[in-house]
Amino acid sequence: MPRILVTGGAGYIGSHTAHLLRRRGYETTIVDDLSRGHAHNVEGFPFHRLNLRDTAALTAILREGSFDAVIHFAAFIAVGESAQAPELYFLNNTGGSFSLLEAMATAGINRLVFSSTAAVYGTPESTPIPEDARIAPVSPYGESKVMVERALEWMDRYRGLRSVVLRYFNACGADPESPLGEEHDPETHLIPLLLRAVLTSEPVTIFGEDYPTDDGTCIRDYIHVRDLAEAHILAVDHLLRGGASKVYNAGVGQGYSVKEVIRAVEGVTGRSVPFRVGPRREGDPPALVASSTRLQTELGWKPKYTSLAAIVETAWRFASRQAR
Ligand code: UFG
């Protein structure tokens, strides 16, 4: 079976993908510095605790493991934090990725799946957003990913590095077949915060209800983490078959407003969500919805979690287990 190195495999999307790879028989090794991820997510895996910027150590791991491909998740993900400390994002996300590219070139590994983000589009001119929409990030986080995407184009041309870039929309939910789930600290994402509000009765703040949408709250494309993990497996298989470099949106193509998500949480939990309405959060575009036809038609990806209720159900199971 193919040998895959997963960077950031202790994090939310990385751990879900690593576990799915292993269940499907891929020989899966994880690299993570555990600065944001969790040691319990890598239990039972060959694991190296390492910051990607340690190029020499990373090169040695890549050489010794004779990997067929790398799936690169390791990154900071908080848009707000990236505005407070842009240097951190450029150093960790862009710098870490560039170090990985050098290590891969030295070790002669030329297949990479890269975690990018819908944040590369900034505030899109229209939705659904196709992959060839204007790239115009409005946060250092988004820019830190754009810089890597650009480098990958040059690495393809001059180094023969084949890559699949997946631009994630709003990853959420938890794997029903493993103990994994969303555990960011601090948590900034909507669904876990709504579930926490239900569990603690502490109100959550809706960031603005004066957006130009039907109910005034922001619209996002919520993609279940398990469906996202499947997209990575299809992406790596594409590269292992000798496929060309590609860029795909990873979203379902269906948008839900914050208030619709609240109603879904109330439906699943059977309890009301305590909330208050606050001001807008800086940098939040009114609507981010993917055109996901390219991923579906070219790689045969088909999301299984197409209803918000089904997504929230898995997140609720995880959150209530954690609260016990
Ligand atoms: N929201 C609230 N209150 C909260 C938290 C979120 O109203 O306490 C709203 C946000 O304003 C937004 C929506 O819920 O409208 C979703 O917010 P999240 O923070 O869960 O997710 P974002 O859409 O801001 O960002 C996520 C990832 C980014 C990625 C983006 C792509 O965190 O890395 O999706 O769509 F770029």
Output the residue whose Cα is nearest ligand 1's atom 11: 207
Residue 82 CB contacts under 8 Å (≥ 6 apart), including other chains? 76, 88, 89, 139, 140, 141, 144
Query: What would the pLDDT profile of 276-287 be if each residue is shown by its tens digit?
Result: 999 999 889 999
Output the residue whose Cα is nearest ligand 1's atom 27: 170
Nearest to 170 by CA among 52, 270, 293, 303: 303
Query: What would the pLDDT profile of 99-153 be if each residue is shown by its tens digit?
Result: 999 999 999 999 999 999 999 999 999 999 999 999 999 999 999 999 999 999 9
The structural domains of the chain, with segments of one domain joined by +, span 3-172+224-250, 190-220+253-323
Give distance in angstroms: CA of 170 to centre of ligand 1: 7
Q: Residue 40 pLDDT > 90, yes or no?
A: yes
Query: What would the pLDDT profile of 264-276 be if each residue is shown by its tens digit?
Result: 999 999 999 999 9
Amino acid at 8: G
- Residue 319 confidence class, pLDDT cut points 50, 70, 90: very high
- How far apart CA 137 and CA 140 sit, in angstroms, is 8
Q: Tokens for 164, please give them.
A: 């699949």
Q: Which CATH number fits domain 190-220+253-323: 3.30.70.1880, 3.90.25.10, 3.40.1350.10, 3.40.50.2300?
A: 3.90.25.10
- How far apart CA 322 and CA 296 sit, in angstroms, is 34
Cβ of 98 below 6 Å from ligand 1: no
Q: For residue 290, what is the DSSP state?
A: B
Are 86 and 140 in contact by the 8 Å Cβ rule? The answer is yes
Cβ of 237 below 6 Å from ligand 1: no
Query: What would the pLDDT profile of 197-206 be if each residue is shown by its tens digit?
Result: 999 999 999 9
How many CB atoms sit inside 10 A of residue 146's CB?
Answer: 20
Cβ of 287 below 6 Å from ligand 1: no
Q: Residue 263 pLDDT > 90, yes or no?
A: yes
Q: CATH code for 3-172+224-250? A: 3.40.50.720
Query: What would the pLDDT profile of 216-253 be if each residue is shown by its tens digit?
Result: 999 999 999 999 999 999 999 999 999 999 999 999 99
Q: Out of 189, 211, 288, give the residue to mutate to test ligand 1, the one with the largest number of ligand atoms within 8 Å of its CB.
A: 189
**What value does the mean pLDDT of the chain take?**
97
Q: Is 43 helix (H, G, I), strand (E, B) or coil?
A: coil
Is-catalytic flag, 141?
yes
Angle at 117 between CA 89 and CA 188, to 5 degrees: 70
Query: What would the pLDDT profile of 49-85 be if each residue is shown by its tens digit?
Result: 999 999 999 999 999 999 999 999 999 999 999 999 9
Q: At what angle do helices 308-323 and 190-200 cross, to 10 degrees?
A: 50
pTM: 0.97
Output the residue whose Cα is nearest ligand 1's atom 34: 170
- How far apart CA 249 and CA 240 sit, in angstroms, is 20
The pLDDT of residue 164 is: 99
Cβ of 315 below 6 Å from ligand 1: no
The pLDDT of residue 324 is: 80
Residue positions counted in the chain:
324
Q: Out of 165, 166, 187, 207, give the residue to mutate to test ligand 1, the one with the largest number of ligand atoms within 8 Å of its CB.
A: 207
Give distance in angstroms: CA of 190 to centre of ligand 1: 6
